[in-house]
Amino acid sequence: MIRRKEVQPTGAHPIAVAEGVHQVRTGMGRMSSHVYLVESGPGWVLVDAGWPGAERVITAAAESLFGTGARPAAIVLTHIHPDHTGAAPGLARKWDVPVYVHPDELPLARGVLLDEYANPLDRWVLRPLMMLLPKGTLPATDMTGVVRILEPGAGVPGLPDWRCVPTPGHTPGHIALFRESDRVLLTGDAVLATDVNSVRGLLTGGSRVSGPPWIATWDRPTAEASIAALARLRPRLLASGHGPAVSAPQAARQLEELAARVTAARRPGLPIDYQGVAAVRVGGPEVLEVIRRRLRAPRRGEARVRVEACSVSAVDVQARKGLSTYPPRFPFVPGYAVVGVVDAVGAGVTAVAAGDRVVVMTEKGGYAEYIFVSSHPMMGVSAGLDAGEVVAVGLNYLVAHQTLSRVARIRRGQAILVTGAAGGIGTALIQLGQLLQLRIYGADLPSKHPWLVDHGVVPLGARAEDAVKALQRMEPDGVDAVLDGRGGDWVRAGLAVLRPGGVLVEYANPGSPASTFKLMVRAIKQNLVPKGKRIRLYGTTSWRLDRKPLMDAWATLYELLEARKIAPVIAGRFPLLDARQAHLRLEDGDVVGNLALVAGSP
């Protein structure tokens, strides 16, 4: 061990809890958290980094033990929460050492609140508070510049005599550290040495092995399974992120008792892993990566759905590129509409039950083997319907139906122009338009014109100016409506071919909040002209204001699908986790109809 100057363990000074393991308190009172200075051979490692502003306390403790200018071999974090990571960026830069976290913890390193990793405290307190307070009032601890991956099977950096014990649940990538030689266990917040989950525990602050703070825990069933895993280690000393260290024989006994309590109370079915595909940063299809998550039990108000198929749409591609009215926070899982089977429901769920087959408007998250549904639109669908067709109807036919009937209010026998006519929404517009006996003109690439002709559509070129000239010759008085999913030059072109009083329906993604605002201003100005040509905007997110039109449209569309009055064109089906190839195919520009990701496909 390192030779050092002995100090009296008072206040924030280090306390030796085991041979070569020194505990330092950061923060005040019941909100304080512990960091550990752990020796191994000639060096030492800092485990956890306390609250923001703890740099001075930690540095002083290190220098009191190891001398002026002492620096560790590494900083190892049990998890990413502000009371354990606050000083990490500053200390990493001061000491010029890396900060190690479990791979599943990396998405949290930006310090941004991500919905898929939110715990009850995040959802009920922090998220509403952030919406009320000015931006930047609650500063984030961004560690992306210093953080490194700790591979659990490769050992603990700087601590060859310790091993990493994955303990997910409190956070996705929580870890504990265990020294086999004397059975010392550093638990972080996977298990605490003080009770913070009861009023009595909060008031007395006594020493007792207890579970993590449940209100700040991401996935309780998984956290409970981790408690049982730690109990099987039978530690002789347990030192956690909060509370005094607990030594033998109380450590093993209290931990076993805790594991027995949570195991008895746990809901049936141990957590398992499931996979999905996330866009890890802005970019091309190459940024889509397969990820693995723990399959948790559904929370109150949630239904867990095993995914059969998910739509692949232009909006997924645009979100991956960061082009959206509401740009996503990376990393995120794309996937706008899914079909699947409910396999479990949380407390309070009565609309669906396990075994129900449902279609869900997810907006994001669909590229995964399981999804969790609480507030998003969901409807039961027939077990006999093709999964790929169900998701095509759930998104693209929904857009087509709403733009035709609800926004443009098209009547039987009228004339329309459809841009991107051979795409997923375009082919849906054509099929629904044929049911209304519309005269349909379709603008798209020449290679797609044979399909358009075969389906009774008058083909036009893909360039806006060419389509305008051709259509003005064939419809000199103008068409009744233009359904535009392209945007850009097509806004001007669409207005040019409309009859007086006609309507241009824009459902294209403008690509940014600024572009959306400009389009809204243009629509307002255009619509002020008496008896003039109108611009109306449509987006699927309108269900947040009133979900009845969406649910009514779904009911109508799935009746048409069951009667085979509509038949979605499926250009390709890809394995659920092969989203990268699906995006490549979609961006090639030669797709006629829809693409789908399908679970269990070869």
pLDDT of 276-287, one tens digit each? 999 999 999 999
pLDDT at 326: 82
Q: Is the pLDDT of residue 67 over 90?
A: yes
Average pLDDT value for the chain: 91
Longest dimension (CA), the chain: 95
Q: What is the mean pLDDT of residues 448-471?
A: 95
What is the token pair recorded at 104? 């599943």
The DSSP secondary structure of 226-239, one letter per residue, reads HHHHHHTT--SEEE
Q: Is the pLDDT of residue 127 over 80?
A: no
Cβ-proximal residues to 132 (8 Å cutoff; 6+ apart), any chain:
none
What is the token pair recorded at 51? 């609250």
pLDDT in tens, 214-241: 999 998 888 998 999 999 999 999 999 9
pLDDT in tens, 155-186: 999 999 999 999 999 999 999 999 999 999 99
Q: Is the pLDDT of residue 268 over 60?
A: no
- Position 419: which residue type? T
HEC secondary structure over 483-505: EECCCCHHHHHHHHHEEEEEEEE
The DSSP secondary structure of 398-456, one letter per residue, reads HHHHIIIIIIS---TT-EEEEETTTSHHHHHHHHHHHHTT-EEEEE--GGGHHHHHHTT
pLDDT at 373: 96
Cβ-proximal residues to 392 (8 Å cutoff; 6+ apart), any chain:
311, 424, 428, 568, 570, 593, 594, 596
pLDDT in tens, 386-421: 999 999 999 999 999 999 999 999 999 999 999 999
Q: Name all domains of the chain by residue range, CATH numbers in brackets.
A: 15-265 (3.60.15.10), 276-393+581-586 (3.90.180.10), 396-561 (3.40.50.720)
Q: Is the pLDDT of residue 8 over 50?
A: no
For the beta carbon of residue 48, count every other beta carbon within 10 angstroms. Answer: 28
What is the token pair recorded at 476? 């000199």
**Number of residues assigned to the chain:** 602
DSSP classification of residue 168: T
Residue 316's H or E segment, with its range, is helix 314-320
pLDDT at 7: 32
Confidence of residue 260 (pLDDT cuts 50, 70, 90): confident
Q: What is the mean pLDDT of residues 291-298?
A: 83
Q: Is the pLDDT of residue 272 over 80?
A: no
Please identify which residue in the block is written with the tokens 């509409």: 337
Higher-scoring residue by pLDDT: 272, 407: 407
The whole-model pTM stands at: 0.65
Q: What is the mean pLDDT of residues 321-337?
A: 91
On the 0-12 / 13-18 / 19+ scale of CB atoms within 10 A, 399 is buried
- Asked if residue 308 lies in contact with residue 261, where contact means CB atoms within 8 angstroms, the answer is no
pLDDT in tens, 87-99: 999 999 999 999 9
Q: What is the mean pLDDT of residues 24-45?
A: 92
- Asked if residue 405 lies in contact with residue 560, where contact means CB atoms within 8 angstroms, the answer is no
Angle at which helices 88-95 and 55-66 pack, to 10 degrees?
Answer: 50
pLDDT at 130: 73
Q: What is the mean pLDDT of residues 460-485?
A: 95
pLDDT at 296: 80
Question: 40-54, 260-274, 373-387, 443-457 — which is least confidently predicted?
Answer: 260-274
Confidence of residue 203 (pLDDT cuts 50, 70, 90): low
pLDDT at 533: 95
Rounded CA separation 349/242 (Å) = 36
Rounded CA separation 457/451 (Å) = 9
Confidence of residue 10 (pLDDT cuts 50, 70, 90): very low
Q: Is the pLDDT of residue 595 over 90?
A: yes
Q: Is the pLDDT of residue 491 over 60?
A: yes
Q: Is the pLDDT of residue 356 over 60?
A: yes
Work out the angle at residue 213's Cα, subtended by the Cα atoms of residues 212 and 216, and round it to the nearest 5 degrees: 115
pLDDT at 482: 97
What is the token pair recorded at 106? 């990396």
- Asked if residue 63 lies in contact with residue 148, where contact means CB atoms within 8 angstroms, the answer is no
Residue 63's H or E segment, with its range, is helix 55-66
Confidence of residue 1 (pLDDT cuts 50, 70, 90): very low
Q: Is the pLDDT of residue 601 over 70?
A: no
Q: Among residues of the chain, what percentage have pLDDT more than 90? A: 76
Residue 482's H or E segment, with its range, is strand 479-484
pLDDT at 9: 33
- Asked if residue 77 lies in contact with residue 146, where contact means CB atoms within 8 angstroms, the answer is no
Residue 587's H or E segment, with its range, is helix 579-588
pLDDT at 128: 80
What is the token pair recorded at 82? 């502000």
pLDDT at 5: 38
- Beta strand 415-419 with 439-443: parallel, antiparallel or unpaired? parallel
Q: What is the mean pLDDT of residues 329-337?
A: 93
pLDDT in tens, 534-558: 999 999 999 999 999 999 999 999 9
Phi-psi region of 531 (alpha: psi -120 to 50; beta: other; left: phi over 0): left
Q: Is the pLDDT of residue 524 over 50?
A: yes
